[in-house]
Structure 1
Amino acid sequence: MLPKQINFELPEEFKAGTSGPKVGVRHLQAVLLFFGFCVSFMQRSNLSLAIVAMMDRNSTNPDFPEYAWSEQTKSLLLSSFFWGYLVMQIPSGMLAQRFGGKVVLLCGVAISGLLALLTPYSAQLGDWQLTCFLRVLQGFCQSVVYPTSHAILGQWAPPAERGILAALCYSGPQFGTIVTLGIGGKLATSQFGWPSIFYISGGCGIIWSFVWLLCGADSPRQSKLITPKEKNYIESALAEISESENNATTAKLTTPWLSIFKSVPFCTLIMCNMGFNWGFWTMLTQIPSYIKNVYNQDIQSNALLSALPYVANLVLGLCFCALAHKLLSAKVTSTIASRKIFNTIGMWIPMAASIALGSINADQPDLAVILLTVAVGANSGTNVGSMVNLIDLSPNFAGTLMSITNFAGSMMSIIAPLVVGVIVTDATNPNQWRYIFYIVALLYFIGNLPFLILGSSKLQPWNEPVQRNAKRVKQNAEMECNA
């Protein structure tokens, strides 16, 4: 019979770790990241719409300057953001790992917002060359957004909630794009003119930076707002409780570069991101010009029609998120099956819509808008597919993995608008646009196929640092000896 004084009840801190509040600080972090993405994409997409007014020879608003830039110059400007974006991709992931995501993200968004405010003056003072230079600097700053957000999510998102929190964050780009394209036409024709598109997006970035400074945190352990119960819930779910060796942050871990690049599941995500970025950024940068030139829509109608696909993307993204969470909770699908199903929806449905877009005539504007809406809307499936799969493979190095895949994807983001500039020499010719949509469809197909065949959601062995694994082996051996 056991002595009465022995108490087998778990301590309160371990009880707290078994469940967490339904709504907590982890959700606040996801909402803040949502708006961080929102303002970042407002700044990315502002030129796509503003350039239509800036080059409008029919005087959208005669009170503001217009520029006689060629189609090739326009394509150069639209791709220039990604030159700086590409250069800093790998370093940005390392910076997030070394200094924490909060500070790096804060600096990136705040400086990018300031540069957006200066863009109208750059066009007046230095024509397209200075504008191009500012866009390169903006890309340089915004290169940190995805890697730092992934690093932060890796520390805040319990595995059971990873899909829903990631999908919430990655709905931000669509919302930001909707805001810019939705109000941009009104702004361009208002008394404030096309420069106000840049002022609004830049100002929102500055405001968000102040809020993030006050409320953002790298991890639950560093948050001043979180309750002990929620902190223990998150840390226990991530298997990072109590022991001193587990208290080390990823800033102290050595990045296993060779193991990462030898990982077949990770390499499939690189291919996936390249195909996705080609299609997504071709659509984002070219839809306003396509609608204006092929279907002769004015700037206000153009803005609303250009925003419609991203409204669908946002709505479908939230629906996919809820559906994926429901299927996983009910154990209808495994984690990897869910990732592959939704990623295929996010890439192969847009592939089919792009093929159809290349086959329609210039006298079918309504059908074109429907197909564009389907193509961009279904893209959101990747938010709960390949995008969150990076965290599945390695929560500790999620920021670094994101920076690598984003580096590869950014190359496509640079090349895609330039290819449009080479092929589409007459923007009113639908036959030239046909080749653009066929190329998009091909890249969507090639990008998703390796992930569908070889993708995995298993935690990779290199997620744990070597020294930690060695220590655990030693502890296990000591326990066996004592036994």
Structure 2
Amino acid sequence: MSTKTKTINCPLIPSARFSLTLFIFFGCVVQYTQRINLSIGIVCMINKTYINTELESIPYLARTDNQITKISSKNTGLFFQDKRFSWTESEQQMVLGAYWIGYIITLIPGGWLSIIIGAKRIYIYCLLISSIATLALSIIYLLDTMHFVFVFILRIIIGFAHGALIPATYSLWSVWAAPQERGTLTSLGFSGINFGTAIIMLTGGFCCRYIDSGWIYLFILSSLLGFLWIPWWSIYVADTPALHKTISENELNFLNHFNGQLMQDKQRQVISLISLPWKNIIRSKPIIALFITQLCNLFGLFFFSNTLGKLLQDIHHIPTLYIGYILCTGFILMQLSGLTTGITADYLVRKNFISLTNVRKLFNSLTSFSSALCIIILCFCDESRKILGAITVLIYLFSSGFALGSGFLVNFADIVPAYSGLIFGIANTFASLSGFLGNIMASFVIKQPILNDWRKLFIPFIIIYIIGGIVFLLYGSAEPLQWARFPQQNESNNDDDDDDDDDDDDDEQSTCTEKLQPIEQSTIIEKI
């Protein structure tokens, strides 16, 4: 019988990896308050009485409007009059889509740089840039001209800064999360996405309803969150367990056992797009299926996250304050579904009720097919069915959380742990490009804020969601690919294969309080 420990358990709370999860959670809160603030703020930035169908035929540069309206109509003026801008429907979609122009530029470099200089620095530099740019958005209150161009450029800069963050997060998870905890940690960390969105939606609804130029406060608040978060991250977070200042030796050995013993000095793995095993990537059905399902799911989620506020206002004519309440509730539901899904999936796998591959397929399918069904229902929800429309939006957001907790979003660290950040960056580049194309498509299709135009836009999204669900159901997997593992994982996996018959022996469990035998150290530096 092998002397190797069969089942290794290490309490998650308290631990350094749980602390990292909380920091990632709040980092996602900061990122998404800055990302979504314009989506709710634009509801009270636009002078609706100025927008009409004839305006679309007037060239932008030929308009001599007073493209700005200043009134004082709210209960609370505070420091500003209520200032609104006369942007056409097409210009609004362009401003909302500008974020994706910058976002897709840094997705792949973000994954690469997180390996070269570390994910910790990536977070610091990127959120510092985005916080400054977000604060600068409030300057448009002082501009009488060029406000559209100014916002467009700043949103590109914010997207540019944010593009590297998620790939960097995957690089962290690949060394900080053991496979049996990955769903829980990832869903908890990424639940900050929905929490941040909910906060800004609720705050935005209140500010737009009760405060003159309430949109300014959204920009200021989300930028201040970034400035407050950065010092804490820089002090308490490390790129790898070996570099962490306060991690216990037992937890370090626990993580080394599953993920390999990584370099403790400043050397980094030398890797580039050229050195990636492209032949293996292209020939891998699980990777191609993952690329496709992520593209299809995020094509819908990115677009609707930006436009649900406009949909509820333009089609269902719901007051701005209640739009904030609805979307806040929806994103909280998404957070809860993502978190509970991750915990549930890990529990089912640990108890051997279902395989890791099947649990990923299950929850990913629930997201894809439920989202398609919700959009079908929205095709028939006009102002007379506003309650049904609002409920459908809530169900759509709730079901979207399943894949975030145990679907495509977690799957990269499952199948390509050694390259997860970089390969996710490549996949998310195409997915984010589709997010921008969704807004461009909407600018051409939606000529008037009526259900007929929106219905034409819904049909492609329904088809795309269904395709993504079917492809992953047929070809998806959660088994680590042999060529995409850390070297130490291969060694550990070979040892585990010899002891499969003893996996269920409760008497041979080792807790975190016992010192584990660290596996032999070897370098992961590859120069190709």
TM-score normalised per structure 2: 0.82
Cα contact 1:175–1:310 (8 A) shared by 2: yes
Match of 1:55 in 2: 46
* Cα shift at 1:123: 6.0
Mean Cα deviation higher: 251-260 or 400-409: 251-260
Cα displacement string for residues 202-227 of structure 1 (whole angstroms, at most 9, x for unaligned residues): 11011111111111111111111211
Match of 2:176 in 1: 156
Cα contact 2:44–2:213 (8 A) shared by 1: no
1:190 is matched by which residue type in structure 2? I
**Is it true that 1:28 corresponds to 2:19 in the alignment?**
yes
Match of 1:343 in 2: 364
**Is it true that 1:205 corresponds to 2:220 in the alignment?**
no
**Is it true that 1:415 corresponds to 2:415 in the alignment?**
no
- Give the secondary-structure state (helix, strand or coil) at the position aligned to 2:10: coil
> What is the alpha-carbon distance in structure 1 between the residues aligned to residue 340 and residue 8 of structure 2?
28
1:43 is matched by which residue type in structure 2? Q
> What is the alpha-carbon distance in structure 2 between the residues aligned to residue 18 and residue 420 of structure 1?
51
Cα displacement string for residues 356-406 of structure 1 (whole angstroms, at most 9, x for unaligned residues): 111233201110011111111101111211111100112111110110111
**Is it true that 1:66 corresponds to 2:66 in the alignment?**
no
* Cα shift at 1:256: 2.5
2:429 is matched by which residue type in structure 1? F
Cα contact 2:195–2:335 (8 A) shared by 1: yes
- Give the secondary-structure state (helix, strand or coil) at the position aligned to 1:66: strand
Cα displacement string for residues 90-139 of structure 1 (whole angstroms, at most 9, x for unaligned residues): 11111112111110121111211111111121464331111100000111
* Cα shift at 1:67: 0.5
- Give the secondary-structure state (helix, strand or coil) at the position aligned to 1:171: helix
1:106 to 124, 127, 149: 124
> What is the alpha-carbon distance in structure 1 between the residues aligned to residue 413 and residue 447 of structure 2?
42
1:120/1:176 CA distance change after superposition, 3 Å: same
How do residues 175-324 of structure 1 correspond to structure 2 at under 5 angstroms?
175-188=195-208, 189-190=210-211, 193-238=214-259, 240-241=260-261, 251-253=269-271, 254-324=275-345
Cα contact 2:326–2:394 (8 A) shared by 1: no
**Is it true that 1:385 corresponds to 2:407 in the alignment?**
yes
Cα displacement string for residues 296-338 of structure 1 (whole angstroms, at most 9, x for unaligned residues): 2222122112222212111211221222122112111100000
Mean Cα deviation higher: 264-273 or 130-139: 264-273
- Give the secondary-structure state (helix, strand or coil) at the position aligned to 2:352: coil
Match of 2:113 in 1: 95
TM-score normalised per structure 1: 0.89
1:289/1:464 CA distance change after superposition, 3 Å: closer
> What is the alpha-carbon distance in structure 2 between the residues aligned to residue 374 and residue 356 of structure 1?
11
Match of 2:53 in 1: none
> What is the alpha-carbon distance in structure 1 between the residues aligned to residue 440 and residue 83 of structure 2?
25
* Cα shift at 1:466: 8.9
> What is the alpha-carbon distance in structure 2 between the residues aligned to residue 158 and residue 379 of structure 1?
25
> What is the alpha-carbon distance in structure 1 between the residues aligned to residue 172 and residue 12 of structure 2?
20
1:255/1:318 CA distance change after superposition, 3 Å: same
Mean Cα deviation higher: 370-379 or 432-441: 432-441
2:190 is matched by which residue type in structure 1? Y
2:32 is matched by which residue type in structure 1? F
Cα contact 1:39–1:205 (8 A) shared by 2: yes
* Cα shift at 1:465: 7.2
**Is it true that 1:401 corresponds to 2:423 in the alignment?**
yes
Mean Cα deviation higher: 453-462 or 373-382: 453-462
* Cα shift at 1:190: 2.2
- Give the secondary-structure state (helix, strand or coil) at the position aligned to 2:269: helix
**Is it true that 1:167 corresponds to 2:221 in the alignment?**
no
Match of 1:80 in 2: 98
Aligned residues: 458
- Give the secondary-structure state (helix, strand or coil) at the position aligned to 1:359: coil
> What is the alpha-carbon distance in structure 1 between the residues aligned to residue 486 and residue 20 of structure 2?
26
How do residues 446-457 of structure 1 correspond to structure 2 at under 5 angstroms?
446-457=467-478
* Cα shift at 1:191: 5.5
> What is the alpha-carbon distance in structure 2 between the residues aligned to residue 431 and residue 94 of structure 1?
44
1:65/1:453 CA distance change after superposition, 3 Å: same
2:177 is matched by which residue type in structure 1? A
> What is the alpha-carbon distance in structure 2 between the residues aligned to residue 41 and residue 77 of structure 1?
17
Gaps of 5+ in 1: 1-8, 474-483
- Give the secondary-structure state (helix, strand or coil) at the position aligned to 1:405: helix
> What is the alpha-carbon distance in structure 2 between the residues aligned to residue 236 and residue 200 of structure 1?
42
> What is the alpha-carbon distance in structure 2 between the residues aligned to residue 98 and residue 122 of structure 1?
37
> What is the alpha-carbon distance in structure 1 between the residues aligned to residue 189 and residue 407 of structure 2?
14
Cα contact 1:81–1:135 (8 A) shared by 2: yes
1:184 is matched by which residue type in structure 2? G
Gaps of 5+ in 2: 50-70, 495-528
1:248/1:111 CA distance change after superposition, 3 Å: closer
- Give the secondary-structure state (helix, strand or coil) at the position aligned to 1:367: helix
> What is the alpha-carbon distance in structure 1 between the residues aligned to residue 489 and residue 448 of structure 2?
60
Cα contact 2:364–2:403 (8 A) shared by 1: yes
> What is the alpha-carbon distance in structure 1 between the residues aligned to residue 490 and residue 348 of structure 2?
34
Mean Cα deviation higher: 309-318 or 370-379: 309-318
1:223/1:466 CA distance change after superposition, 3 Å: closer
Cα contact 1:100–1:251 (8 A) shared by 2: no
